[in-house]
Amino acid sequence: MPGPSATSYGDCITLCGNMFGMTEDRELVSQIVAEMAEHGLEPDAKERELLALAEGIADRLSELEYRITADGLSITLHSGRVLMNPAVAKARMTRTALASVLVKISMTEAPAKHPVKQAASQTRWRAHTTWRKRGCLVARKIETDPSKVGGFCVTT
């Protein structure tokens, strides 16, 4: 997919093309869903929301790139001062926002958690929470039933 190219007209540089090389912003979402389907995945509710958000951000990015193409990378104020087009910085921030949304979409199946390890972890966490509620900083002997432990609590 070709990226944007810069064309120089005298002392004005304009950006040609857009970041994705798409005619519609919905194509981005379609490509992601198609790639997920290739891996046997389907977007869940969270990923559908992220895809909708990504579509809106991509749409805004297209608008900004259109403004940059129409106005150029720099603008000249009435006083004659030349500044960078504000749309360039906004487009950069929008690309970063789009990347941070897209990275949250899982393109692989998450490994299943081991149920025995999950139960052990929850038991340890329950004991930790119980000790913290009693005002203990450290339990020298970890016991799942706090009533069986006597004198092993360092209080605050």
Residues 123-141: tens digit of each pLDDT: 888 887 887 777 665 555 5
> CA-CA distance, 129 to 139, in Å (whole number)?
11
Check whether residue 55 and residue 25 sit in a common domain.
Answer: yes
Which value, to the nearest 10 degrees, does the dihedral of the CA atoms of residues 63, 66, 71, 77 take? 10
In a domain, 128, yes or no: yes
DSSP state of 15: E
Residue where the block lists tokens 């799942």: 144
> CA-CA distance, 38 to 91, in Å (whole number)?
31
Which value, to the nearest 10 degrees, does the dihedral of the CA atoms of residues 47, 114, 147, 141 take? -110
Q: Are 139 and 152 in contact (CB under 8 A)?
A: yes
Check whether residue 84 and residue 12 sit in a common domain.
Answer: yes
Check whether residue 22 and residue 72 sit in a common domain.
Answer: yes
pTM value?
Answer: 0.56
Check whether residue 81 and residue 142 sit in a common domain.
Answer: no
**Chain segment 81-132, per-residue pLDDT in tens:** 999 999 999 999 999 999 999 999 887 776 677 888 888 888 888 887 887 7
Check whether residue 119 and residue 98 sit in a common domain.
Answer: no
Highest-scoring range by mean pLDDT, 5-19, 35-49, 111-125: 35-49
pLDDT at 84: 93
Q: Are 57 and 31 in contact (CB under 8 A)?
A: no
> CA-CA distance, 117 to 53, in Å (whole number)?
35
Which domain range does residue 55 map to? Answer: 5-102
> CA-CA distance, 123 to 6, in Å (whole number)?
60
> CA-CA distance, 94 to 73, in Å (whole number)?
16
Strands 82-84 and 5-9: unpaired
Check whether residue 34 and residue 12 sit in a common domain.
Answer: yes
